[in-house]
Amino acid sequence: MAGDGQVTLGSQVVKSGARKVRKLLDGKILTGFAGSTADAMTLLEKFEDCLEQEKGDLMKGAVKLVKEWRTDKVLRKLEAMMLAADTETTLLLSGAGDVLEPEGSVAAIGSGGGYALAAGRALCEATKLSADAIAKRAIELASEICIYTNNNVIVETLGDK
């Protein structure tokens, strides 16, 4: 999973080296977020709690989070999206109640998500690059098009601590 480092307020870049991809549960789950930083950090903490309550089951933890995110008075005002993955499943989570398994082998969120998704799919079909190299390159290509995405890419993979 890869994420760019850009944080903006309106049309102003306020940080270029944010870490939008994190490992949870001792490196068993990868998460990435887009949207309001404080909201995303709140959701990451809540998601880790849900995962622990569900003994590391990604789907059950995701459903638990999204249900609370959608129905809780405070959480439902949070504006962010998340990707979460283990070695078998990738999920897109939203405050609208979505727990989706994206089609194909690429998923993307955020301002440059559409560009990164298209680039990632094309790279999967046209190259023999590794998954982490495809993720990194897809964001780099998105950063050339989307003003809210930069090429300061952080890549996290499962299996390395």
Enclosing H/E stretch for 3: strand 2-3
The answer to whether residues 72 and 43 belong to one domain is yes
The answer to whether residues 64 and 92 belong to one domain is yes
Mean pLDDT over all residues of the chain? 93
Q: Look-up: residue for tokens 């897809």?
A: 138
Q: Which CA distances in Å does 147 have to 13, 30, 46, 138, 143?
A: 10, 26, 30, 15, 7
Q: Per the domain annotation, does 153 fall within a domain?
A: no
User: How many Cα neighbours within 13 Å face the side chain of 134?
Assistant: 19
The answer to whether residues 96 and 133 belong to one domain is no
Q: Per the domain annotation, does 117 fall within a domain?
A: yes
CATH number at residue 66: 3.60.20.10
The answer to whether residues 61 and 75 belong to one domain is yes
pLDDT at 157 over 60: yes
The answer to whether residues 97 and 108 belong to one domain is no
Q: What is the mean pLDDT of residues 50-57?
A: 96
pLDDT at 130 over 70: yes
Task: Give the pLDDT confidence of 55-84 residue by residue, as tens digits.
Answer: 999 999 999 999 999 998 888 888 889 999
Number of domains in the chain: 2
Confidence of residue 38 (pLDDT cuts 50, 70, 90): confident
In the prediction, which pLDDT does 79 show? 85
In the prediction, which pLDDT does 76 show? 86
Tokens linked to 29: 């789950």
Q: Are 121 and 133 in contact (CB under 8 A)?
A: no
In the prediction, which pLDDT does 142 show? 97
Tell me the C-alpha distance between 12 and 14, whole Å.
Answer: 6
The answer to whether residues 107 and 95 belong to one domain is no
Could you tell me which of 75, 62, 74 has the C-alpha nearest to residue 31?
Answer: 62
The answer to whether residues 69 and 121 belong to one domain is no
Q: Per the domain annotation, does 6 fall within a domain?
A: no
Confidence of residue 160 (pLDDT cuts 50, 70, 90): low
Tell me the C-alpha distance between 146 and 152, whole Å.
Answer: 13
DSSP category for residue 77: G
Q: Per the domain annotation, does 92 fall within a domain?
A: yes
Phi, psi dihedral angles at 104 (to 5 degrees): 80, -165
Q: Per the domain annotation, does 2 fall within a domain?
A: no
Full residue range of the structural domain in which residue 133 is found: 103-147
